[in-house]
Amino acid sequence: SSDAQEKSARSPAPASRTRRRYVSKLYQNFGKLQPEDLGVCKSYKLMLYNEIIGACYPGAFHLLPLGQRAMEKLVRIIDQEMEAVGGQKISMPTLAPDTLWKASGRWESTGKELFSLHDRHENQFCLGPTHEELITSLVASHSPVSFQQLPQLLYQITRKFRDEMSPKHGLLRGREFEMKDMYTFDTNEETAMETYHTVCDAYSNVFDRIRVPYEKVRGSTGNIGGSLSHEFHYVAEAGEDRLLLCLRCGLQVNQEMAEGTSQEDLCQGSREHCQLTESKGIEVGHCFYLGTKYSSVFNATYTDDAENIRPIHMGCFGLGVTRILQAAIEVLSKERQLRWPSSIAPYQVCIIPQKEGYQADLYFRLAEELSDQLSGMPNMAGEVVIDDRTKFTIGRRIYEASRIGYPFVIALGKKALADPCQLEVINTATEETQFLSREQLMDLM
């Protein structure tokens, strides 16, 4: 019977045991905050107001259940795209010894942005803002590796810490935040460049799947170092970076990188027709080619086919996971209505049965039946909630559901029982309402 137990632990929960979810039991709609009381940036207000995140202290936030669900969906997309290019997931310590950071010179150069602390033996550590030192010394501990074992693409999705001068706009600039950081290890510059472009393409795939428009621009290598760098940005007024874009010659660059260069020198090709536009961008991803900057410090090496020991060529690639979560909302939302990319919306569907009163139990049963049927569709398990607060009118609950941004809201009004073609289905992104039969609804999902 222990065999049977083990088997049942491996098999998915049968649909009949999948819990129905009721809005009255969700950690939301406490409604104590008013948007007027909150900060300045739209997505930050919407996320606080709708209980996606909770404020803890400046630069630090609780991800509440809705925020955590969205974040896990985003992580799944990232994992799939990193695995598709051969990425292997790891998890490194958060506390990093000062010795490693002093060896690379970044203890000094990072300065006050680094959170540092001592242990009981007076050893000093920082809370990792990024992990080049740790990963390079890890690979160095196995060095020299064989050229046949390269390339290696290692990544993690973990909490990062930066004592930002001015934490701002909620998750957009936190002092703790989730980052996906990948580090790549190659035999020479040429293969490292191939890896660089492969990972940049994987980033494009991540952003294509999120389906929020983005720009890829040349970026500066800043404090991380290296010689080539691209950034991914969402264009939004709340962004703190300035992007220079030219539709004519294809120039796309972060102004940080263009400092001191004239427009003529920036634009390539048929210059007199060039027209630079400037947009504000939120930096959501960053790719660097590092060369041997870190491998030479920590002695991360490989043996080539003639048994020569050579330094490894590295790249590093960051994605601001929690920043993407909020920046996507910043781009898509209206002032008072939160809009999710449907790929990461915490729940896909909210069903709203008729207000209490005549035949209320029949509407409620219909809501539960629909919920079970929808939850049985591919990828829909756990994606449906029922707004069981039937003391409120349907109208009020539709308003709240579209404010929170469920991609689909299904209202079961008076006609729903009488006529099977009268399920009112609202697409909150387009604000279109359709009246559908059950079959048509299932086809839509």
- Can you give the binding site for Mg ion, defined by CB under 5 A? 283, 286
Binding partner of residue 281 among Mg ion, ligand ATP, none, CB cut-off 5 to 8 Å per kind: none
Among 285, 291, 311, 341, binds ligand ATP (CB under 6 A): 285
Give CA–CA dist 285/204, Å, rounded.
Answer: 10
CB nearer to ligand ATP: pick between 281 and 311: 281
Provide the 8-state DSSP code for 186. E
Cα–Cα distance list, 308 to 139, 141, 188, 302 (Å): 18, 18, 13, 8
Q: How many C-beta atoms surround the C-beta of residue 92 within 10 A?
A: 15
Among 45, 69, 131, 286, binds ligand ATP (CB under 6 A): 286
Provide the 8-state DSSP code for 143. P
The DSSP string of 1-26 is -HHHHHHHHHSPPPGGGSPPEEGGGS
CB nearer to ligand ATP: pick between 190 and 278: 278
Give CA–CA dist 419/120, Å, rounded.
Answer: 72
Binding partner of residue 353 among ligand ATP, Mg ion, none, CB cut-off 5 to 8 Å per kind: none
CB of 368 to Mg ion, least distance (A): 48
The residue whose Cβ lies closest to ligand ATP is 320
Cα–Cα distance list, 294 to 100, 104, 110, 372 (Å): 11, 7, 15, 54
Give CA–CA dist 361/441, Å, rounded.
Answer: 22
CB nearer to ligand ATP: pick between 286 and 313: 286
H or E element in which residue 412 lies: strand 408-412
| H helical segments located in 181-288 | 189-210, 255-258, 263-266
CB of 91 to Mg ion, least distance (A): 22
Give CA–CA dist 105/117, Å, rounded.
Answer: 18
Task: Write the interaction track for ligand ATP spanning residues 211-230; mark x where CB under 6 A is met and - where it is not.
Answer: -------------x------
| Contact criterion met (CB below 8 Å) for 232 and 222 | no
CB nearer to Mg ion: pick between 48 and 327: 327
CB of 94 to Mg ion, least distance (A): 18
Please, which of residues 380-399 interact with ligand ATP by CB under 6 A? none
Give CA–CA dist 77/377, Å, rounded.
Answer: 20
Q: Per rule CB under 6 A, is residue 164 in the interface with ligand ATP?
A: yes
- The packing angle between helices 321-332 and 42-49, to 10°, is 100
CB nearer to Mg ion: pick between 58 and 269: 58
Among 128, 318, 346, 353, binds ligand ATP (CB under 6 A): 318
CB nearer to ligand ATP: pick between 214 and 298: 214
Q: Per rule CB under 6 A, is residue 47 in the interface with ligand ATP?
A: no
Count of residues touching ligand ATP (by CB under 6 A): 16
Give CA–CA dist 276/244, Å, rounded.
Answer: 6
Q: Per rule CB under 6 A, is residue 101 in the interface with ligand ATP?
A: no
Among 52, 96, 179, 367, binds ligand ATP (CB under 6 A): 179
Q: Which residues bind ligand ATP (CB under 6 A)?
A: 130, 162, 164, 173-174, 177, 179, 224, 283-286, 318, 320, 322-323
